[in-house]
Chains A and B, each alone.
Chain A
Amino acid sequence: MAGEFLVSTRKGLFTVGGDGGWRISATAFLGDNVSLAMRDPRSGYLYAALDHGHFGVKLHRLRPGEDWREIATPAFPEKPEGLVETDGWGKELPWTVMRVWALEPGGPGQDGLIWCGTIPGALFVSFDHGESWEWVKSLWDHPSRKRWFGGGADFPGIHSVCVDPRDADTVRLGVSCGGVWRTRDRGRTWDLTANGMRAEFMPPEQAGDPEIQDAHMLAQCRDQPDRFWVQHHNGIFRSDDGALNWTEIHDVEPSNFGFAVVVHPRDGDTAWFVPGVKDEKRYPVDGRLVVTRTRDGGRSFDVLKNGLPQNHAYDVVFRHALTLDDSGEKLAFGSTTGGLWVSEDQGDNWTEISHTLPPVHAVRWS
């Protein structure tokens, strides 16, 4: 089998691959907005987050041999009477889940444990395969959390959850806009670890404040777990010390702006990005859709375009819409204009699967 991946779109969930090659092999929730999907490799269960707009956010689960079933949705507790909470810009922060923005299984020894990041920026954890959820109050109560603000959304959100392969109680989070966070005790205490990042969108004296950094996406190398990459609002950053300190990568052509990043599971020097014209425009440079790849820790980048549209392409690839399989060979990504591509050779060549899908929110190997 060539592999299989889940494509979450504005109008449903698509499964691509399987024995029939790179074709759409299954659909679910057609017509509904699927913001994110995930297969838990420990249980084999699939999870899909739906955003019904009118009716709110819901979670569904598919167990092998069964139909999709609605399960509990992460939810804030009742807000204390009279409490007014604001984000970093002073906007009132609602205590209601507006989007599921991260779904990640816990470690191999944590059967049933799932992390869920949301907008507004809260973290939830389930210990029973999503049957129920606990609000991680320790993070919400952290004084620095109160400075977070929205990046690309009305309110701040947690979009990346990296469970450390050495110790599953160590978890790092990427937050837009709120930097990078680490717990070493499964969520009881938290450190803010975004030293070295730079926020051009802030006044110069605040540009280095770690708690307002817009880390668009955080990726950890499985076999070199102290190596992290961040695609940030202001460029690409790399960490060699477990996400404590960050180094900005310069001179990235055609652009260092983007949302997505994936890192090779064995070689932390190898990572992929999908660049675009920087923040005020956000589309492929010169209308040419490319993927960039570094094999040397960011000293140089290959610009990969074979098989990708090079004429009037306005595809934007969101932070969850680029995925790499466990072998480190196969990539897939989807775009806001309904394009979907796969590569079996680390991005050297791409095959178009569709250019007529609904807007793609997320692509993830199953």
Chain B
Amino acid sequence: MTRIAPVLTVLAILVGLWYAAVAPMNIRVALDQAQRDGVAVVPDTPVARREAGIVGLLVQNAGVIPATYDLDRPRLPTPGQVGAELWKTTGEMVMNGRAFSKRGLIYHGWITLQSTLFGFALGTALGIIGAVAIVYSRTMEMSLMPWAIISQTIPIVALAPMIIVLSSQVGIEGRGVPKAIISAYLCFFPVLVGMTKGLRAPGPEQLDLLRTYSTPGWQSFLKLRLPTSVPYLFTSLKIGIAAALVGTIVGELPTGAISGLGARILIGDQFGNPLAIWAALFAAAILAGALVTLLGWTQSVVLRRMGMGL
């Protein structure tokens, strides 16, 4: 309880701020709408309204304020509207037996999830291999580590359209692969750094002990270094999966993809449907939260089974 109460308070403050912002953000749209419906609004020409300040418009047209919370195409929808749109494109479609319809967010979320998991697996594998190479070869460490750091300062999304063109020219079918490459790139680095730290975590006494047992190198890797690195690995996996999701969505955004949450954002933008954008954004947030929570659970189960849990 003591941990939930503050979180709920902050959430309530944020939602309150959001509701308060809706009226000033939407008042101009709502006034245009009201005038078309024949309601008298105070500066009665659109030009005069463009000149007028937001506060003045709100005070002079207090009667229109309720309408700002109920627009079809608001500049800023209310949380309630976003929730309703989310329900309409997920829950309601399930109830109608069309859960995987292409018009629902479940289908698009699934497409995004596939690329994310594929990229996550690829990035994690590369990160772990890189970490092993770095721990066992000083040449690799000195050559690779600076570049791994520099690679993170490069805005990878600049490369996203390029990667898609390249892979289609090389003959890779489907849009899943280029998106997965971008996610793999983003989740590679946290795993590499965390895993390097983890593999180096055993202290000299522990390594010396294994040496007195005359343990071969691969056994000390399997029985000491690898188990010690697991907590570090999970911490970076949680960062990595969130980064992989960001990568997939960014890969879908600028490239004319037709399915996936990023594509829903893009299409919502092109068709002037802000509710679709907001619903897709929240679906992405829910997906990110679910993935990180899932990894957190796996982490606590695995660590408990390994005897490292709390």
A interacts with B: no
Listed in ascending order, the chain B residues whose CB lies under 8 Å from chain A are none
